Amino acid sequence: MAVVVPGLFATVALPAYAYNPDAAPTTALEARAQLAADNAQSIEVEDVEVAAAKRDSYETVSAATRQRAAQRAAFAAYSGPTVRDYLANPPYPNFDLSKVVDVALQYQGVPYRYGGATPAGFDCSGFVMFVYAQFGVSLPHSSSAQGAGSGGGHIISRADARPGDIVVMDGGGHSGIYMGGNTMVHSPRPGRFVEVHNIWDSNAWFVRYGI
């Protein structure tokens, strides 16, 4: 057994040692033929660099997300007309409830800001006041005062309410602009933005200004 095993190792190893890289053919076909003829089982290879595998990294951002980010940046830098400016020179002097809705919806995405009354940031009553000012209608900066009809408004029934009227909830603690059905557009709370939302208070009431 001691005689047979070394013989086997020598037989297996000989083809690998017999291959001479210095005498290698110059073409791929010749190299392949030479390897087959020599029955080579190993090849010496020098100066091979292995490139490290790298995975591409990327983020997918939707067009809507980019648009909202750009819109928020534009609102944050707002330096346009104020409520006072609009009341002095309203862009919509002919009051139209349906137009009130159109104007209000333009400010979706404006962040909530306590005491805010411009597109740089709105609280609930500041948002309603800013929209109505563009129609020459002066409202108090207070949801409870808006809900009481201060400044020339009058309370109406839900059945008579039309999109563009003011909706008041939470005992007068919150106001928004009625959208019809059971929806409104409003500036809800810190950390949120002007948005369309369902009316959650079954005791909500409606106030009409401007007509």
The domain ranges of the chain are 81-208
From CA 38, how far away is CA 18, in angstroms rounded? 8
For residue 62, the model assigns a pLDDT of: 82
Contact 133, 92 (CB under 8 A): no
Confidence of residue 96 (pLDDT cuts 50, 70, 90): very high
Phi/psi of residue 177, nearest 5 degrees: -110, 125
Predicted TM-score (pTM) of the model is 0.68
For residue 48, the model assigns a pLDDT of: 46
> Where do we find the tokens 């660099």?
49
For residue 88, the model assigns a pLDDT of: 98
Please tell me whether residue 63 adopts helix, strand or coil conformation.
helix
Work out the percent of the chain whose per-residue pLDDT is above 90.
62
- Please compute the mean of the pLDDT values over residues 129-134 and round it to a whole number: 98
Q: What is the pLDDT of residues 10-46, one digit of tens each?
A: 444 434 334 344 444 555 555 555 545 555 555 454 5
From CA 127, how far away is CA 112, in angstroms rounded? 9
For residue 18, the model assigns a pLDDT of: 41
Q: What is the pLDDT of residues 132-142, one digit of tens each?
A: 999 999 999 99
The helix/strand count (H/E) of the chain reads as: 7, 8
Domain 81-208 = CATH 2.40.37.20: no
Residue 94 has pLDDT above 50, yes or no: yes
User: Helix %, strand %, coil % for the chain, to 5?
Assistant: 35, 15, 50
Tokens for 11? 């037989």
From CA 16, how far away is CA 167, in angstroms rounded? 90
Name 207's bridge partners. 155, 166
For residue 26, the model assigns a pLDDT of: 52
